[in-house]
Amino acid sequence: MKFLDEAKVYVASGAGGNGCISFRREKFIEFGGPNGGDGGKGGDVIVEAVDGLNTLIDYRFQQHFKAERGVNGMGKDRHGANGNDIVLKVPAGTQIYEEDGETLIADLLAVGDRITLAKGGNGGFGNAYFKSSTNQAPRHANPGQPGIELTIRLRLKLIADAGLVGLPNAGKSTFLARVTAAKPKIADYPFTTLHPQLGVVRVDDREFVLADLPGLIEGAHEGVGLGDRFLGHTERCRVLLHLVDGTQDDAAAAYKTVRGELEAYGNGLEDKPEIVALSKTDSMTPEQIKKQLAKLKKACGKTPFTLSSATGAGVTDVLRELFKIVGKATKTETAKTKQPATWQP
């Protein structure tokens, strides 16, 4: 399935049905009086987070959604039926923005979160509604209220406990394949990962979700390479695992490049807890490992881990450290933001 994390959608709620002007006409009943029914209410536009989805691909081929119009009222006091609502199903973690792409309407974090984006128009009153002792034969009725039309932007941010960052070919996909059942593309050339990958890690009978993101290069925040458009998926992560390829010339420079892109992107990524690990140690001599570790420690200000995804050496220690931070996440960080039941454009 193709991965799509942004979509622009036009939605419209249903208009209300018109009220009816009608009079009771039966044999031998000279003054039957008004009996026009009310129009039905138009359908609402609802967005709901559902289980089983992890992409917005459904909104690539259909971008227009309209709720059903209310049925007009009829004679003999028959009210029109309400129009059916239309429900847009999205993955958990989807944000809804106004057309400008900056004004946040709602953030659907958990399965079952829903919001009414556009309420349908009310149905008009039939002439039976207006009868009174002083107006026994009203000859007017209300039209139905119009629906609401708006354009929204859907933006998916995957929900993962930990995120993998690093330069291309740092061993992120190999690490994900080693610790989860995910099957990411692995090759000896850069940018093999073109979209985020998710996997469930199990360590010491405990589980957490790990996200592998496409590699960053210098200038990614300006659109170089694949750019930083996928960094939004790490905003929900509680901890970052920064993998640095130990086989390259300068591990410290590689670390600083990625950290610079995280800081340029902002949105709190630079402040997230970070675990730094020197990868591909199976292809290095002890002297090379010692030299690269010294450079990396000086650059990041902490003692890095060493691991080899190919042999599994050091992987368990890194996973335990990741879970230690994931488990310490406060309830306020993981608490679901209460969504408004409706939104008024």
* 299 DSSP assignment: H
Strands across the sheet containing 206-212:
197-203, 206-212, 162-165, 239-245, 274-279, 305-306
- What is the rounded distance in angstroms from the CA atom of residue 21 to the CA atom of residue 118? 29
Binding site, annotated residues for Mg(2+):
173, 193
Sheet (strand 104-108) strand order: 64-66, 6-12, 149-156, 94-98, 104-108
Annotated binding site: 166-173, 191-195, 212-215, 279-282, 308-310
Q: What angle do CA 318, 198, 334 make, to 5 degrees?
A: 75
Tokens read off for 46: 């609802």
Closest CA to 96 of 121, 113, 77: 113
Distance of CA 343 to the CA centre of its chain: 18
Question: Which parts of 42-171 fold into alpha helices (H)?
Answer: 58-61
Residue stretches of the annotated binding site for GTP: 166-173, 191-195, 212-215, 279-282, 308-310
3-class secondary-structure state, position 288: helix
